[in-house]
Each structure stands twice: as structure tokens, then as C-alpha cells.
């Protein structure tokens, strides 16, 4: 199949966010020509794309970020999964499912070059639904798994606390912690409905609605004897509350600090770190791309738990590339339960 003359809809960065944070006007839906398919490349029809907190930093000129920042006028990118329409890669045929990083567009040209921004990996769609490969079996679940085991050194019998627990990584952390031997799991989330979901469907022992009361008060009530491990997705007052709740020898997994993206209030000072001294606490930052050696073990174990129903995969699906920027802004506000995804191809089941 030739790509000559084909166009695709893409979302580009129209301008950098203003002082109030990202707004719908910062994004534009436009059309771009699809380049000719070269040797070693695939033409992919994206089915689902992910919206991620890490994109927030990438919208800025020189802000904190995990990879490169976006350029004004250029397409955004991020994790996506889609079906091959045409292939010039030996062994990969039309209809195969591949995961890659060229989301925010309907058609993508990806390539078999490891390390390239356009690199793809094949996924086995018979093992789990395509959308799961961006959520519980994708970076989300993998972040939870590697964060708990590698950075958190989760031990049997631990009391675990995780923030943003109704979101993608957090909902996986709580469930995986239990499956990996934690004695109790507490989560915090920003609504009554999310807290209800944590304790009724996802197996958490307790949940704290941080919008209804200060997180320190809620955590103190939920864990009167303290915690061993805090998985931090939020930073700010959550991190301070956890430092005061940790037992001697406790551990903190520094996964993300979304409150720094979404709050305009001043952040609590670093002086609370004296608690880490007094309690001999280990604080460990980590980035998931450093733990690829765990990928096969992770995929095997987590797909097994999904099959047996021991693990529940929650996702919120927004339809249409034209709604992708709204999905991203909604995720920052907490509109999502579980993984926030955009369905780019309406013919694929969520």
C-alpha cells in the first residue's frame, strides 16, 4: 500500500501554556501529509493513545521533564497502540498490533530501529485487549510493578500508602502491592466516588479523600500504627504527611509530583526532610525506562493475574482525536478513574 498523497489528522502544540496552566487553546487539530513508507518502516492506524502527567512538563520551554520538550507548531507525541496497515518490515504483516510513541495522530509511520523516537514493539493482542497494553500491561502497570519492587523494595507484611490511588499508576500500585505480599494498603484520592471504588472494587483497606480533609489527618486515622512504604505520585503535602507517618526504616518511592503541575498554592518546605533523618527513611527516585530488564517477568505475571481476575484493570476512555487535549486537561484535574485513554479509531472496542 502506498502512502503517497495520504494525510493524517494530528494534534500540535499551538502555544506554550500561560501562567494559569494549560488551556484548550494551547492545542490545535490539523492535517499533515504522511511520508512515503521506507524500508524497515510500518504504516500504523492508531487505535488508542495515552495522555500522561509527564506531558505537562514537556509543554514548557525549559521545565522539568522526562524526555524532550514539545516544539510550538509541531505534533505532540506519547504512547499509542495501533494496527499495521502496510509493512516494509520483514515478519510484520498488516493487521498486527504494535505499540509505539507516535500518539496524537491517526496514522503514524514507525520503524524497527531500537532507540529511535519512532521505534515500535509488537504486542500479542490475543493475550489482552489492545487498550490494556497502554494501561495495566503498559508503562502504567510496569511503573507500579518496578516502583514497588525495585525502588520501594516491597517486603512481605508491609503497610503501604499510595497517592493518586484512583488513577492509572496508583490503582495498579494498590492492587499489585497486595498481590506481592503487603499486609495492608491505603490510598488517597480526590473524590468520594474514587475512595469508594478503592475499598469496594480494588481491595484497598482504607481510602482518604484529600479534598475533604487535610491528608495528614486522614492518613493518621487510616494508619494509626504508621506505614512502611509510601508510593508518591503527588509530592507536596502528601509527601510531608507520609514522612510523618513512616515507621523507622521506612521507604519512599518518588514516582511523580503531580501536585507541582496542578496546584498554584505554595509547596511545603524541604525542612520536613528532618523526618527522614529521625526515622532512617530511604527516599528513592526512579524512572521506569531504567528497569526494562524486568519487562518480561512483569508482562507474564501481570497478564496472569488479569486472566485469573486477581487484578482489575480500570480505564477511562475518551472518544476521538479531536477530544485528546480535553482528555489530557481532564486527567490533570482528576476526571479519570484508572488509565485515561483516547480512542482514536472508533471501530476498535475499548
- Counting contacts by CB under 6 A, is residue 218 touching ligand NDP? no
Choice between 130 and 235, CB closer to ligand NDP = 235
Q: Are 187 and 161 in contact (CB under 8 A)?
A: yes
Contact 227, 159 (CB under 8 A): yes
- Tell whether residue 187 is a contact of ligand NDP (CB under 6 A): no
- 3-state percent helix, strand, coil for the chain, nearest multiple of 5: 30, 25, 40
Q: How far is the CB of 285 from ligand NDP (least distance, A)?
A: 7
Q: Report how far apart the first and last C-alpha atoms of the chain are (Å, whole number).
A: 27
131 sits near ligand NDP (criterion: CB under 6 A): no
Query: Considering only 23-31, 104-112, 136-144, 218-226, which stretch makes contact with ligand NDP by CB under 6 A?
Result: 136-144
Neighbours of 212 (CB within 10 A): 12
Give the residue from 231, 251, 242, 222 showing the smallest Cα distance to 167.
Answer: 231
Binding mask 256-295 for ligand NDP (x = CB under 6 A): x-xx--xx----------------------xxx-------
Pick from 49, 78, 336, 348: which binds ligand NDP (CB under 6 A)? 336
Q: How far apart are CA 138 and CA 47, in angstroms?
A: 15
Task: Rule CB under 6 A: say whether 164 interacts with ligand NDP.
Answer: yes
The answer to whether 334 contacts ligand NDP (rule: CB under 6 A) is yes
Stretch touching ligand NDP by CB under 6 A, among 120-128, 244-252, 254-262, 306-314:
254-262
Q: Which of residues 46-105 bind ligand NDP (CB under 6 A)?
A: 52-54
Of 38 and 117, which CB lies nearer to ligand NDP in the complex structure? 117
* Residue among 22, 78, 82, 167 that touches ligand NDP (CB under 6 A): 167
Q: What separation in angstroms does the CA of 168 have from each of 44, 95, 173, 339?
A: 25, 28, 9, 4
Residue 169 interacting with ligand NDP (CB under 6 A): yes
Do 3 and 67 contact (CB within 8 A), yes or no? no
Minimum CB distance to ligand NDP, residue 1 (Å): 34
- Candidate list 34, 37, 177, 331; residue touching ligand NDP; CB under 6 A: 331
> Is 199 one of the binding residues for ligand NDP (CB under 6 A)?
no
Please give the distance of CA 21 from its chain centroid, rounded to a whole number.
20
Is residue 138 within the footprint of ligand NDP (CB under 6 A)?
no
Three-state secondary-structure class, residue 203: coil
For residues 160 and 154, the answer to whether their CB atoms sit within 8 Å is: yes
Which is closer to ligand NDP, CB of 30 or CB of 267? 267
Q: Candidates 220-228, 241-249, 255-263, 318-326: pick the segment binding ligand NDP (CB under 6 A).
A: 255-263
Does 233 contact ligand NDP by CB under 6 A? yes
Of 293, 247, 276, 248, the residue nearest 150 (C-alpha): 293
| 6 neighbors 86 (Cβ within 8 angstroms) | no
Contact status: 327 vs ligand NDP (CB under 6 A): no
Residues 18-57 as x/- pattern, contact with ligand NDP by CB under 6 A:
----------------------------------xxx---
The three grid cell numbers given for residue 240, joined into one nine-digit string? 510531608
Cβ atoms 314, 339 nearer than 8 A:
yes
**Among 181, 236, 184, residue whose Cα is nearest residue 207:** 184
Q: How far apart are CA 170 and CA 173, in angstroms?
A: 5
Stretch of 94-102, 176-184, 307-315, 328-336 lying at the interface with ligand NDP (CB under 6 A): 328-336
User: What does the block give as the cell for 50?
Assistant: 495515552
Query: Between residues 52 and 158, which has the closer beta carbon with respect to ligand NDP?
Result: 52
Pull the grid cell for residue 336. Answer: 479519570
Q: How far apart, in whole angstroms, are the C-alpha atoms of residue 155 and residue 143?
A: 17
Per CB under 6 A, residues contacting ligand NDP are: 52-54, 139-140, 143, 164, 166-170, 189-191, 194, 233-234, 255-256, 258-259, 262-263, 286-288, 331, 334, 336, 340
Amino acid at each position: 500500500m502506498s502512502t503517497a498523497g495520504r494525510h493524517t489528522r494530528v494534534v500540535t502544540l499551538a502555544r506554550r501554556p500561560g501562567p494559569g496552566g494549560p488551556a484548550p487553546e494551547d492545542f490545535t487539530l490539523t492535517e499533515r501529509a504522511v511520508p512515503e513508507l521506507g524500508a524497515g518502516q510500518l504504516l500504523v492506524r492508531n487505535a488508542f493513545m495515552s495522555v500522561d502527567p509527564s506531558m505537562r512538563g514537556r509543554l514548557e520551554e525549559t521545565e522539568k521533564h522526562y524526555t524532550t520538550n514539545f516544539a510550538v507548531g509541531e505534533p505532540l507525541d506519547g504512547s499509542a497502540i495501533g494496527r499495521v496497515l502496510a509493512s516494509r518490515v520483514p515478519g510484520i504483516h498488516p493487521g498486527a498490533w504494535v505499540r509505539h510513541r507516535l500518539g496524537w495522530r491517526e496514522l503514524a509511520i514507525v520503524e524497527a530501529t531500537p532507540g529511535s523516537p519512532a521505534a515500535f514493539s509488537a504486542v500479542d493482542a490475543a493475550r489482552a485487549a489492545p487498550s490494556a497494553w497502554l494501561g495495566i500491561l503498559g508503562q502504567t502497570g510496569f511503573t507500579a510493578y518496578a516502583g514497588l519492587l525495585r525502588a520501594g523494595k516491597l517486603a512481605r507484611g508491609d503497610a503501604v500508602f499510595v497517592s493518586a490511588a484512583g488513577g492509572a499508576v496508583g490503582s495498579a500500585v494498590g492492587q499489585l502491592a497486595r498481590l506481592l505480599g503487603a499486609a495492608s494498603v491505603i490510598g488517597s484520592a480526590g473524590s468520594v466516588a474514587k475512595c469508594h471504588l478503592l475499598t469496594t472494587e480494588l481491595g484497598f483497606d482504607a481510602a482518604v479523600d484529600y479534598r475533604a480533609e487535610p491528608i495528614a489527618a486522614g492518613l493518621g486515622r487510616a494508619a494509626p500504627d504508621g506505614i512502611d512504604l509510601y508510593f508518591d505520585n503527588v509530592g507536596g503535602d502528601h509527601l510531608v504527611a507520609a514522612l510523618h507517618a513512616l515507621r523507622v526504616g521506612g521507604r519512599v518511592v518518588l514516582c511523580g509530583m503531580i501536585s507541582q503541575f496542578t496546584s498554584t498554592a505554595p509547596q511545603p518546605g524541604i525542612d520536613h526532610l528532618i523526618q527522614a533523618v529521625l526515622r532512617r527513611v530511604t527516599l528513592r527516585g526512579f524512572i521506569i525506562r531504567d528497569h526494562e530488564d524486568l519487562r518480561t517477568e512483569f508482562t507474564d505475571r501481570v497478564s496472569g493475574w488479569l486472566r485469573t481476575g486477581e487484578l482489575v484493570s480500570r480505564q477511562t476512555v475518551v472518544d476521538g482525536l479531536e477530544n485528546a487535549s480535553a482528555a489530557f486537561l481532564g486527567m490533570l484535574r482528576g476526571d479519570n478513574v484508572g488509565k485515561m485513554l483516547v480512542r482514536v479509531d472508533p471501530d476498535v472496542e475499548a
